Structure 1
Amino acid sequence: MFDPLLVLGSRVTRGYPGAMLRSRLDRALDLYCGQQIIVSGRGEAGPMATYLIERGVPAERVVVEPDATSTNENLENAHRLAPDAVLHVVTNDFHVLRTALWAWHLGIAVHLHSARTPWRLMPRNYLREVLATPHSAARIVWRRMQG
């Protein structure tokens, strides 16, 4: 069996995945070939699981991680669920670099898979990432300095 997919959470509106999260879930469906799919995110993992199951993924192949509130927690919590696996992480294109930084820092083996960001959401999210990536890099440096 293949290593698990990990789909990082994003906005859920009225219990249904938003456009960006749907793009991640649809990318996971494209990559799915019978392996486990870990859906991760507080308040997001349940609707993510429902979305995948409604589209044909067997419920026993979906693992819900309902506690993560950040990229690093998504990775840490999923790694605890599958400690010996290479995680196939699905996130949006703008978020790949920051996800790679956290995976490197945490020592978690990953393959990153990019989901296309809906065009209307690109400006806001790319701008946010311009700020979030240096912030994460600074947090990583700080953690490393702390030992």
Structure 2
Amino acid sequence: MIFGVFTVILFIIFLIFHLSDPRRIINGFLFNMFCCSLLVSGIYFAVTTPIVIFRVMILIPLFIVLLFLSTFGILALCVGLFLNARILMKKEGRRFSNCLTLILGLGLLLLLLFSVVNPERFLSPNLRPLFAGGSLIVFYFFFSLTNFLSAYFLYQFNKPKYNQDFIIVLGSGLIRDKVPPLLASRIDKAIDFYRKQASAAYPPTIIFSGGQGPDENLSEAEAMQKYAIEKGIPPEHTLKEDRSVNTYQNMLFSKQIMDSLKNGKYNSIFTTNNFHLFRAGLYAKQTGLKSQGIGSKTAFYYWPNAMIREYIAILVMNRKRHIIVVGTILAFSIIITIISFLVS
């Protein structure tokens, strides 16, 4: 009974946080806590219930899943990451940014090898606190990653209402002064929302946000606007923000335009590719923009590498907190190691 009550409480807390603002990583942590509590509650119910069929239905599938994960889970994940890296580099080129799944696969394979060899047994007892500290740091980043992935996943289901005054389309670069497929998908998503809202209520204004790169003859905003007009969007329902050079500035300069037109009283959303959705939402929050995002589809093979890149970018955004945590763990490990040497 107590497990069930605790699970319900966790679910209510998660809902409060998520519904108040889905652009927070703590939502992922709360969702993971709820899922763990639900799992424990299910196991407890299966063990204590007198109904045998319920025990079989819950415990046997759970045992099979846990057995597979404990024996082949990491190895299967490594194989999947290697295959993804091969497909991605074949389709997108052998750039370093396309090698992240390969690097992660090698890292996981190394961790698997470490767990089998157990190098701690070769260390002096005095040095084991350092090894424990390193293991704790790895666990910390794994914990951080799981929270990010859950928050990232939950944000994909954001469904804004058809009462928006503005739609911000985030730029992503031109190719030979033309809108490439990746950017076109963002504009098409905005056009689709524009048409649905126009038929249900009133047409919003689309703000195309993106400056001019050093190798471009026109701004992204101008190229995007032309693309949308060719798709049938009335020019009077479009605006250009052509100063920004990154996502933060996309949000900041677009907010300035909307504030000047509506005196801060408006509803807005932004469109980008779904892999970029959550981080863009964090930048919107940093600028004081209440906008939520909707994401355009991305090829499935592109997702794993893109998610790793997004996680690294969010680590950099919150680098002060991570430096403090990692620094604290290292400091304690070093202090304990020094003490152990002095005592021995």
Q: TM-score, normalised by structure 1?
A: 0.85
Q: State the distance in 1 between where 2:321 and 2:233 align.
A: 36
Give 1:109's aligned residue: 290
Conserved 8 A contact 2:164-2:269: no
Aligned counterparts of 1:20 and 1:139: Cα–Cα separation in 2:
32
**Which of 280, 293, 298 is residue 99 of structure 1 equivalent to?**
280
Number of positions where the alignment pairs a residue of Structure 1 with one of Structure 2: 141
Q: Which residue of 2 aligns with 1:22?
A: 184
Q: Report which structure shows greater RCO (CA 8 Å, sep ≥6).
A: 1
**Structure 1: segments with no counterpart, 5+ residues:** 142-147
- CA distance 1:124–1:36, shift in 2 (3 Å): same
SS of 1:68's equivalent in the other structure is coil
Q: Distance in 1 between matches of 2:246 and 2:321?
A: 14
Q: Deviations over 1:26-66 (max 9, x none)?
A: 10110013211000011311110010000001111110111
| Larger-Rg structure | 2
Amino acid at match of 1:110: S
**Aligned residue number for residue 41 of structure 1:** 210
Q: Which residue of 1 aligns with 2:299?
A: 118
Residue 76 of structure 1 deviates from its aligned partner by 0.5
Unaligned runs of 5+ in 2: 1-162, 213-219, 323-344
| Structure with the higher fraction of residues in helix conformation | 2
1:36 & 1:139 partners in 2: Cα distance? 38
Which has more strand, going by share of residues? 1
Change (3 A) 1:7 1:62: same
Matched-pair identity in %: 30
Structure 1 residue identity aligned to 2:290:
A
Amino acid at match of 1:128: R
